[in-house]
Structure 1
Amino acid sequence: MNKTMLRVEVAYAMPDKQKIVVLDVEEGTSVKEVVMQSNIETFFPGLDKANAKLGIFGKSVRKPEEQEIKQGERVEIYRELTVDPKKARANRAAKGSE
């Protein structure tokens, strides 16, 4: 029996470089499996895709190993924050008041 194939994307971005990988996966593939199949780490050496936080179109996926991907979705691999958002806001406010 033929499996239905879905065309999906995996995206990752650094401040100076971005990449979107398009791939075809079988229906029933999890969000996590899509990322593992993408080979996006070849463009970003050191990327720990196995432990990265994932989302779809800007919305975090709580259980990527359980959630199935749908046709046309873009999985986003999120980087760890380098600065606490509260601290960044405080820094911007301090600069504005000078």
Structure 2
Amino acid sequence: MADIYVQVCYARPDMQFARDLRLPQGATLQAAVEQSGVLQAVPDIDLASCRVGIHGKLKSLDTVLRERDRVEIYRPLTADPKESRRKRAVKKGL
């Protein structure tokens, strides 16, 4: 069975993590995150509550990866998007 190459990414305002990995074909998103070392580098990541995705699209941890996928771990939102839009509209006088 051939290997696939993927990248695991996580970012905060004060740091960025990106690691290229070679995994066996059929590997899951969760396996990539665990083997990347990001959970050891950033211990405050909780996979049970963090959302994850591939190339900006939300996916589940059991998603099977394909060649050149970019696995992304998302941080929780700090502001409600609807409330932010309302504030901008009020500021513009709409």
Normalising by structure 2, what TM-score? 0.84
Question: Which residue identity lines up with residue 32 of structure 1 in the other structure?
Answer: Q
2: distance between equivalents of 1:51 and 1:22? 24
TM superposition shift of 1:95: 2.4
- 2:79 corresponding residue in structure 1: 83
- Using the aligned pairs only, state the percent identity: 37
Which segments of 5 or more consecutive residues in structure 1 lack a partner in the other structure? none
- 2:26 corresponding residue in structure 1: 28
CA RMSD between the two structures: 1.7
The answer (yes or no) to whether the contact 2:33–2:39 under 8 Å persists in 1 is no
- Work out the number of aligned pairs and report it: 93
Residue 95 and residue 45 in structure 1: after superposition, are their counterparts in 2 closer, same or farther (change >3 A)? farther
Normalising by structure 1, what TM-score? 0.81
Runs of 4+ aligned structure 1 residues displaced above 3 Å come to: none
Question: Which residue identity lines up with residue 29 of structure 2 in the other structure?
Answer: V
Alignment of 1:5-84 (within 5 A): 5-61=3-59, 63-65=60-62, 67-84=63-80
SS at match of 1:10: strand
2: distance between equivalents of 1:90 and 1:15? 25
Larger displacement relative to structure 2 (78-87 or 49-58): 49-58
Which segments of 5 or more consecutive residues in structure 2 lack a partner in the other structure? none
Question: Which residue identity lines up with residue 24 of structure 2 in the other structure?
Answer: E
